Structure 1
Amino acid sequence: MLQKLRDRTSGWVATIIIALLMVPFLFVIDQRYMGGMGANNVAQVKAPPTWWEGAPKWWPASTLWEHREVGVDEFRQRFEQERMRVRQEQGEAFDPRAFETVENKRKVLDQLVDEKALQLAAERAGVVVGDAAVRDYIASIPAFQVEGKFDANRYQLALASQVPAQTPTQFELLVRDSLQQSLIPVGLGTSAFVTDAEFDRILRLSGEKRDVELALLPEVPEDTAAVDEAQIQAWYDAHPADFVRPESVTIEYVEVDGNSLPPAVPADEATLRKRYEDEKARFVEPEQRLASHILIRVEPDADAAALKAAEEKAQRLTAEAKAPGADFAALAKASSEDPGSRDSGGDLGWVERGAMVAPFEEALFSMQSGEVRGPVKTDFGFHVLQLRELKQGAQVSFEEAREELAREQAQVDRERAFSDLTGRLTDLVYQNPSSLAPAAEQVGLQVQKLGPFTREDTIGIGASPEVKKAAFSEALIEDGTASDPIQLGPEHSVVIRVIEHAPEQPRPLAEVKDQVVAAIRVDRRQAAAGAAADALAKRVQAGETMADVAASVGAQVMPLPGLPRGVPAPSPEANREIFAVAPPAEGKVAAGHFEMPDGRLALFAVTGVHPGDVAELQPEQREQLRKQFAQIDGAAAAEAYVRQIRKSFDIVIEESQL
């Protein structure tokens, strides 16, 4: 029986039958097992089998292609990391809603797709990363080092502090994948080189100077010709982004300003006395010491011999200063190397704690009146100290401190009143976040209205970046609830609620018709100016002198001999235009025109070209520049490799998952 079944299921007929039976399964089997996208993926990178790398994408057996997916969780984690990086980079200027754009998401996704493509290419090329390479790379990461050496405890703590935390095994896998992905592009980048001929050509071009003649052309008359309805409609349809009403919001808000609150009742005597007793230690005049010194200076990079000589000199001066009848001031004038105190006999005046470097202060405040001590070493050198007089700290009386205490207490009471009012307002708003009126009425404040205003407007409290960020946030716009208190300054805050929101939308043609007509006329005027400048440039290239051509339109010629490439003169754009024209043939000139910052056009003629002098570079500079050019070429080669990999693979993006 089995043999008969085997006989009847062999051959080409059976093959066709089995193939037909498999067709329905293609529609019920989870596509993740067959190389499909799957529900939890944002993108997929697929490569044809290595035994048929030229297989077309429409090939029925494309389910056998190798593939790598970018999962939703992986994408969201990377996007959140990018959000944190940008927030740290921009600080207070960071706008969470503005960051949530499709462009930013695609940028992050493209990076992940590149990584998957590189990983797939590396595996197909047989690239394998050994354990030793992974260990060496991890050990070289500064975050895992203590005093320049890898520290296992630091490594464990650093991984545990990540969000989410990682185990060493997870991190090692990440490093292994990264090394595998980067090995080929890094190899391409580091293997780049620049030949002598290429390098010399780059130097000649980068150091090139041109002799130029300029003529500022007169303004073209305003365009006053009629604009018909068809032209208006065509321009409006071709430039929709120019006629858009920007997104706007209208808000209501309650403002709490400490300066507008009733003045606090002056504190009574008992309150001030209690504050004085509680903070009595603060009202003490600091101990002061009248000091002089002799400095023997030591340079920071002094060797051991110089250090020893300075110390021995300071020791001799210390002995002389301690001798009976010694004149410390005379010694300081004769020997001190401190220009600030030498002429006054080393006098430093009254010194309080915290005014001097630590070793100096430690010695001075441990001395007795009249004592000489030294040498005392600091970063400046060796000091010989003399304590001439000591003034002990004294307690400041309540009467002397009363005015300061009253001022401080008034400030505390004002801050407390502001804090209490803000807290009461916030609590009441949380009870009814869909309206500010009930809360404002209970605390005796007014609800005010502002708007509509756009992101670019700077009116009232809407000029505050914090207010604007909250007003245009998705949460306040969609929910219609009140914000948390927004700090505008010291003792100044505001609670806002979005009451109207108008998204960005096209303005109707009837509303912007005058602007469209003005834009058409500006465009026609610019086109006329460009055509006139082109005609003048052709006359110069045909052989007329720049002076004659300029004079024909009432312009003057300004020579610019030896203009270097890349110099922003007359402007960066002008310099690029001047060096973009081909060098003129012998006895000829090259001409063109560019737009000045004020919109006027300038005619130019290149009368001479002077390549950079290769011999001017020193050998060290030449080698350094060669390395830089090689790095640029290497980076370009690595980028080209990634682009080629992406072209050779099939990349599918699931836009709905972004």
Structure 2
Amino acid sequence: MFEFVRKHNRIMQVLLFLLIFPSFVLFGVERYNSMNAGGPTVAKVDGHNITQTDWDNEHRRQVDVLRQRMPNLDPKMFDTPQARYGTLERMVRERVLAAAAAKDKLTTSDQRLARELQSNEVIASLRGPDGKLDMDRYKQLVSAQGMTPQMFEDSVRTDIATRQVLGGLTGSALATPAQAGVALDAFFGRREIQVARFDASNYAAKVQPTPADLEAFYKAHVQMFQAPEQASIEYVVLDLDTVKKGLTVSDQDLRAYYEQNAPLMEERRASHILVAVPRDASAADKEKAKAKAQAIYEQVKKAPDTFAEVAKKESQDPGSAAKGGDLDFFARKAMVKPFEDAVFAMKKGDISPPVESEFGWHIIKLTDVRGKTFEQMRPEMEAQLAKQQAQRKFAETADAFNNAVYEAADGFKTVAERFKLEIKTASNVQRNPGPQAKGPLANPKLLAALFTPESIEKKRNTEAVETGPSQLVSARIVQYSPARTLPLDDVKDAVRQRVVADKAAELARKEGMDKLAAWKANPASATGLSDKLVVSREDPAKQPQAVVEAALRADPAALPALSGVDLGTNGYAVVKVEKVLPRQAHDANVAKEEQSQYARAWSAAEAQAYYNTLKQRFKAQILVPQPAAEEVAEGTTR
């Protein structure tokens, strides 16, 4: 359902960026009244400014959090003007909602805050078997984001309050089955059509451009045939791998780390008896399953040695029942949370009362416990401690590196000697990173610093630019070539291709429009149409989206109907709409999910309308232009 949305990749990238960071995450949101000053003002809300520095810091923080959660995700996906603008829009939204919460005196009680923190999975993972929060790890976690526990908890209070602004509206939004049916039937309606395609490629052979045609096109589209500015550069990189060199981890540190983390590396072996409960089970069936699980528990508790035998007979887990319920050894995070919590709170030989999970009721017997020895954990501990030491050393070295590249000004020899770095070189570097660019040279911030007038003219070192987590880079231009227009002789083949493509599309369009006019005047003369097709937004039957949309816009009261569709460089199409067909019927579950999706969309629309009103109420303004939906980097046509 709604499969067609997947085709709009660039839009969905930005949407993913907006949705991947819900308002409440462990690291909270920046407090409404704690905006840092710095740089030009990019937005205003309720008389408060959002500066360029605020914007840069927030975008960097969000990307860092995302990298921590999804290490394999390409960060370049979010280093685009559209993604950065999405961050600014979210910042404005947070401040508008915070202003509304403050105006309406929406507050958060200590009890509500406690419930919110208890429901957070990241915080829950910091609790020990006794249920107590490990305060040292908690402080360490929030301090990594530049916050104290008090600042974090205040941010959570603010977030809860802001959610109340729209919560009542979204929670009460109503979309009846009748409303959903009308909208969904219209959107997913079907049409029986015939199509005549006039493909531009079929007219290319008829186009024979003259030298004058090529020259005219070239002069009219000079901007298409530019050789971009480029430079040969040298640069130095300070990162964790660099500062790791020379660092050693002491045996004393390893043993301290082992004592602290050995319990977390422990593996446990358990057997279980599952009384399965289907998700759609009635309340009566759920109670029946619970009672059965309790009875089995009482039985095996009296005779623990019969656990395996009872599991073979009673367990409804097909994967383990035949093995007497044995699940072998597993570590933390390997099982669903209720099951894991129970197992890691038990002692060897214990049998738990029934534990409920999404699969049903489990009676669990802990059969063995094993931990990893110091030597088994040594490689992992050395890597982890080396990384921690390198991170501390990097933080200590970063300012010195920044000062050094500034003081050196026009070269990296002294910087490389001081920090034991390699001076790297690259040629044909452009202001906008190309698709093959990798590492620091794909970073727009570094390239923007590199191609400033001062860097180009005086060939000075750039400032130290953060191009990734714990990575600073400074670069300088050694040789620079400005942008220039390529001679016609160098790009004649490319010009010819464009002229032929444009002329062929024009010929296809003209013939298609002529046929459309003739067929409308005399419908019986319409020949060359395809076999009848059934198209919809769900199933376009391999037709261009423009053809499907034209078919769906046809007036049902005036069928059969003919319409023309300009396909741009692909040519032209004539669509004949024969019938309006009802959408395909779906089973009850799909229909229910569709109505649910419609209700959510309706709720979101109402919330957006109210938010737009709040933006006017609190005079919210974004002062920088919104980037185009898709920006095309400047390049050379060859």
Please state how far the C-alpha of 1:352 moved relative to its aligned partner. Answer: 8.2
Q: C-alpha separation between the residues in 1 aligned to 2:593 and 2:234?
A: 66
Match of 1:15 in 2: none
Q: Distance in 2 between matches of 1:143 and 1:247?
A: 59
Contiguous gaps of at least 5 residues in structure 1: 1-40, 44-69, 116-132, 150-156, 180-185, 368-372, 551-556, 646-652
SS of 2:570's partner is coil
Match of 1:226 in 2: 210
Pairing partner for 2:275 from 291, 294, 297: 297
Retained in 2: the 8 A contact 1:425–1:440? Answer: no
In the alignment, structure 1 residue 472 sits paired with structure 2 residue 448: yes
8 Å contact kept, 2:254–2:378: no
Structure 2 residue 545 is the aligned partner of structure 1 residue 572: yes
Aligned counterpart, 2:347: 364
Q: Does 1:436 align with 2:412?
A: yes
Query: For residues 257-656 of structure 1, what are the structure 2 equivalents within 5 Å?
Result: 295=273, 297=275, 299=277, 307=290, 310-321=293-304, 329-336=308-315, 339-347=318-326, 357-365=340-348, 374=351, 376-379=353-356, 381=361, 383=363, 385=365, 401=375, 429-440=405-416, 443=420, 445-446=422-423, 448-458=425-435, 464-466=441-443, 468-473=444-449, 478=454, 480-484=460-464, 495-499=474-478, 507=485, 514=492, 519-543=498-522, 545=524, 549-550=527-528, 557-564=529-536, 567-569=539-541, 570-580=543-553, 585=558, 589-595=561-567, 599-610=570-581
Q: Deviations over 1:3-31 (max 9, x none)?
A: xxxxxxxxxxxxxxxxxxxxxxxxxxxxx
Aligned twin of 2:138: none
Whichever of the two has the greater Rg, that structure is 1
Give a deviation string over 1:454-490, Cα, whole Å, max 9, x none. 4142556577433x43122379664532343766799
Summarize deviations over 1:487-510 as a string: whole Å, max 9, x none.
Answer: 6799x975422456677x673786
TM-score (norm 1): 0.52
| Helix, strand or coil at the partner of 2:105 | helix
1:117-154 per-position Cα deviation (integer Å, ceiling 9, x unaligned): xxxxxxxxxxxxxxxx98893327899953689xxxxx
1:363-404 deviation line (CA, Å, top 9, x unaligned): 433x5xxxxx545443364647486xx7998977xxxx5997
1:537 is displaced (CA, Å) by: 1.9
Deviations 1:206-237 (A, max 9, x none): 4653322123336113422436489828x745
SS at match of 1:559: coil
* d(CA) in 2 for partners of 1:630, 1:253: 52
Find the aligned partners of 1:148 and 1:584 in 2 and give their Cα distance. 58
Deviation, structure 1 residue 567:
4.9
Cα RMSD (Å): 7.0
What is the SS of the residue equivalent to 2:462?
coil
CA–CA distance in structure 2, aligned partners of residues 627 and 412 of structure 1 = 48
Q: How does 1:240-251 map to 2 (within 5 A)?
A: 242-244=224-226, 246=228, 248-251=230-233
Separation in structure 2 between the aligned mates of residue 383 and residue 594 of structure 1, nearest angstrom: 66
Partner of 1:139: 106
For 1:341 and 1:374, the matched residues in 2 are separated by 17
Q: Find the counterpart in structure 2 of residue 212 from structure 1.
A: 193
Give 3-state SS (helix, strand or coil) of 1:357's partner.
helix
Instruction: Say if 1:204 and 1:613, in contact at 8 Å, map to a contact too.
Output: no
C-alpha distance in 1 between matches for 2:45 and 2:268:
72
Question: Shift of residue 253 of structure 1?
Answer: 1.7
Q: Is the 8 A contact 1:296 1:313 kept in 2?
A: no
The code of the aligned residue for 1:571 comes to P
CA separation of 1:608 and 1:249: change in aligned 2, threshold 3 A: same
Q: Secondary structure at the match of 1:435?
A: coil
Sort the Cα spacing of 1:283 and 1:427 in 2 relative to 1 into closer, same or farther, 3 A. same
Structure 1 counterpart SS, 2:532: strand
Taking the TM superposition and a 5 Å limit, the aligned residue runs for 1:22-33 are none
- Structure 1 range deviating more: 512-521 or 286-295: 286-295
- Paired with 1:629 and 1:255, the residues of 2 have a C-alpha distance of 50
Distance 1:143-1:333 versus aligned 2 partners, 3 A rule: closer
State the identity as a percent: 13
- What is the CA distance between 1:86 and its match in structure 2? 5.5
Distance change (3 Å), C-alpha of 1:140 and 1:213:
farther
TM-score, normalized by length of structure 2? 0.53
- In 2 relative to 1, CA 240–567 (structure 1 residues): closer, same or farther, beyond 3 Å? farther
Contact (CA 8 Å) 2:192, 2:577: kept in 1 or not? yes
